[in-house]
Amino acid sequence: MRIVLLGAPGSGKGTQSQRLVERVHIPQISTGDLLRSAVARGTELGRLAREAMEGGRLVDDSLVLGMIRERVGEPDTRRGFILDGFPRNLAQAHALDHLLESLRRPLDAVVQLEVDYKELVRRLAGRRSCADCGRVFNLLTSPPGPDSTLCPKTGHPHRLVQRPDDNEATVAERLRVYDEKTRPLIDFYRARGLLQVIDAEGDVDAVTRRLAKALGEPALAKSPKKKAAAKKKAVAKKKPEARKTAAKAGRRKPAAKRTAAASVRKARAAAKVRHTARRAAAARRGKR
Ligand code: AP5
């Protein structure tokens, strides 16, 4: 499965990609995450990308394409991948086409996540992520509650930070750049017969179900936790039923009982043999 998730900043590309990763076990390739990691590590790529990112503009195509070529060539992408935040303009879309053509691994689907402008701004203003494990929360829509698990990296409560480009001025610029440079990709992929558009507002699980439907993969809609719980319930339900059927058929006692009954039978048979032998011996003695 080779998928592109298209959508404006805050439309939920990262959130839904994570869910696909958990359910279909193919990697998420997020150019934003790769660039942020380069900035944090202070690499040459990070140094070159930083200014554009802080201003809400696109990073130079040549830098992003180099990164994508390298990542798509890694072995974990053989079963597929989810591109999140790439391509971002027509030049990147054409370059991706050529790259995947040369690898004979064309795209299977492109899904556009549609969210109203006001809702995008609200989501981005509320977004916070854990500085240690990177888990994404939202102060308004999914805050870390008392039942949130602790940070798996530190074992302590999550340490929430705001992304530097989630401030009001940069968000406005990112949304403007999206309309100008990325929106035209909707027509680009529609013309290629790859585009699906879904309503990405409302409950996160409902959006995942719509995404699963668009990709023709109903299994994607089931969360791994819910799947495990359903399996446990099915087994628990099946056990008394199986016991009832066995009792009805009047067959096979439990193994322990079967063993005990066999020992009794064996002992009785041995006693019978001994008894017959004693009687035979007595008869012989009587004859003499
Ligand atoms: P990038 O990191 O790609 O940012 P983005 O596209 O602006 O997208 P976001 O990560 O902001 O949003 P998202 O759609 O992933 O939403 P999320 O799931 O987090 O790029 C950052 C920068 O890097 C760019 O500005 C650019 O400079 C550079 N860059 C990256 N790729 C590039 C490229 N290809 N070329 C050139 N430059 C590039 O959700 C957002 C919030 O909403 C979260 O808090 C979440 O909890 C919440 N939420 C999610 N779903 C729902 C829901 N259904 N209901 C309520 N809340 C929800």
Residues 6 or more apart from 29 whose CB is under 8 A from it? 68, 71, 72, 77, 81, 82, 83, 84, 86
- 287 pLDDT higher than 60: no
Active site residue 122: no
- Summary mean pLDDT of the chain: 87
Residues with a CB atom less than 6 Å from ligand 1 = 7, 9-15, 31-32, 35, 52-53, 56-59, 64, 85-86, 88, 92, 123, 126-127, 136, 138, 141-142, 165, 174, 204, 207
CB 130 within 8 A of CB 158: yes
Active site residue 88: yes
How high is the pLDDT of residue 149?
A: 78
How high is the pLDDT of residue 218?
A: 75
* pLDDT tens column, 71-93: 999 999 999 999 999 999 999 99
Q: Specify the range with the lowest mean pLDDT, choosing from 119-133, 168-182, 243-257.
A: 243-257
Confidence of residue 144 (pLDDT cuts 50, 70, 90): confident
Residues 6 or more apart from 169 whose CB is under 8 A from it? 56
Confidence of residue 273 (pLDDT cuts 50, 70, 90): low
Q: What is the largest CA-CA distance in the chain?
A: 122
What mean pLDDT is predicted for residues 246-271? 60
Atom 32 (ligand 1): residue with closest C-alpha?
A: 31
* pLDDT tens column, 145-179: 776 778 999 999 999 999 999 999 999 999 999 99
How high is the pLDDT of residue 266?
A: 74
Q: Is 114 helix (H, G, I), strand (E, B) or coil?
A: strand
- Pairwise pLDDT comparison (54 vs 220), residue with the higher score: 54
Separation of CA 124 and ligand 1 centre (Å): 8
- Pairwise pLDDT comparison (216 vs 89), residue with the higher score: 89
How high is the pLDDT of residue 113?
A: 98
- 249 pLDDT higher than 60: no
Q: Which DSSP symbol is given to 180?
A: I
Q: How far apart are CA 107 and CA 100, in angstroms?
A: 8
Radius of gyration of the chain (CA): 32
How high is the pLDDT of residue 285?
A: 64
The boundaries of every CATH 3.40.50.300 domain in the chain are 2-221
Q: Is 196 helix (H, G, I), strand (E, B) or coil?
A: strand
What mean pLDDT is predicted for residues 110-132? 96
CATH of 2-221, one of 3.40.228.10, 3.50.50.60, 3.40.50.300, 3.30.420.40: 3.40.50.300
- Pairwise pLDDT comparison (45 vs 224), residue with the higher score: 45
Which residue is catalytic, options 36, 128, 174, 210?
Answer: 174
What mean pLDDT is predicted for residues 94-109? 96
- 246 pLDDT higher than 50: no
Which residue is catalytic, options 13, 36, 123, 128?
Answer: 13
Q: How far apart are CA 68 and CA 103, in angstroms?
A: 13
- 8 pLDDT higher than 50: yes
- Residue 7 forms beta bridges with which residues? 113
For a mutational test of ligand 1's pocket, the pick from 19, 58, 137, i.e. the residue with the most ligand atoms closer than 8 A to its C-beta, is 58
How high is the pLDDT of residue 250?
A: 46
What mean pLDDT is predicted for residues 65-74? 96
